[in-house]
Amino acid sequence: MLSPLMGPAIRIDDVKPRDRGKPVTSFSTPFNHTYNPAASVPFGFHSSGLPLAVQIVGRLYDDVGVLRVSAAIESARPWSHRWPPPW
């Protein structure tokens, strides 16, 4: 399964402390409970210059498959030479 992790980053001042994790955990928490292997892979950049990512989720015990798909995405969409703008 391939899912988005979250949209572009929002200003830290716009989020109350207790709400900061909600946008992230809505996609990642279920797989912690089901023990499915998962990986987050940078996928490019929003028009604002901030990084975006996708999450790969595999079948139970298919860690190698998740790592293979992650490596393929990283090879197809290189990102390590780019950095988001400073705040």
Instruction: Report H helices in 1-87.
Output: 22-34, 63-76
**Segment 38-78, tens digit of pLDDT:** 998 888 777 877 778 888 999 999 999 999 999 999 888 87
* pTM for this model (two decimals): 0.65
What confidence tens digit (pLDDT) does each residue in 29-38 have? 677 788 899 9
Are 85 and 49 in contact, with CB atoms under 8 Å apart? yes
User: Computed from CA positions of residues 70, 21, 23, 10, in that sequence, does the dihedral angle turn out positive or negative?
Assistant: negative
CA atoms of 13 and 4, how far apart (whole Å): 24
Q: Write the pLDDT tens digit of every residue in 3-37.
A: 766 555 556 566 565 555 555 555 566 777 888 99
φ/ψ of 52, rounded to 5, equals -120, 160
Rounded CA gap, 65 and 71, in Å? 10
